[in-house]
Amino acid sequence: MILNDGVAIDAASYILYGKSFPENLNGTDFMPKLLSATPAGTRVFLYGSLPEVVEETAKAIESRFGVTVCGFADGYGHMADPKSVLKKIEESRPDILLVALGNPKQELWLSENWPRLATPIGICVGAWMDFFVGHKKRAPAPFRALRLEWLFRLLTEPRRLWRRYSVDVVAFFFLVFRQALTN
């Protein structure tokens, strides 16, 4: 299932189906809602982000949401040995797997590895861990209200995000328009 995370997905929905989504459902807003609604003791595994960020996130979500972080692996050192990450996840038996490897790595990783995992829920969360523990600043409310969070992120991390918000967006909309023309 793909959630409506961002303006591009919303625009694609309008182009393909004639209507946009009622609201933006990005991981940064969705994750606190989801974790607040899960029963106490729900087992969560965190994969991705910097070592210190994922560890801090594990502690913070346990204390704030009452979930059990059954394991975590950073998205840097652990990327060198993907089999060990899969084994660690499998042995932890999480109810929810949160993957924060950045777009599109996290989507590709979860898509490729999901069949091997017995985890009921897997969610790509992007920079949510960084925002949640204050490692990175989230866009101010006016940017978010105007659906311009992507612009704030591009302005604050141009070297890392320029391709996503230029070349990748053009490629995405090429595919959307191609699909619209064939339907």
What contacts 116, CB < 8 A, 6 or more positions away? 86, 90
Taking only the tens of pLDDT, the chain with its 183 residues reads 667 788 898 999 999 999 988 887 888 889 999 999 999 999 999 999 999 999 999 999 999 999 999 999 999 886 667 888 999 999 999 999 999 998 889 999 999 999 899 999 999 999 999 999 999 999 999 998 898 999 999 999 999 999 988 999 999 999 999 999 998
C-alpha 14 chain-centroid distance: 22
């840097």: which residue's tokens? 76
What's the rounded Cα separation, in Å, for the pair 134 and 137? 6
Supply the pLDDT for residue 1.
Answer: 67
Q: Which pTM value belongs to this model?
A: 0.88
Supply the pLDDT for residue 82.
Answer: 80
What's the rounded Cα separation, in Å, for the pair 116 and 125? 20
Supply the pLDDT for residue 19.
Answer: 94
Each residue's pLDDT tens digit, 55-97:
999 999 999 999 999 999 999 886 667 888 999 999 999 999 9
Tally of helices (H runs) and strands (E runs) in the chain: 10, 4
Supply the pLDDT for residue 74.
Answer: 93
Angle between helices 27-37 and 51-65 (to 10 degrees): 40
Domains of the chain: 38-138 (3.40.50.2300)
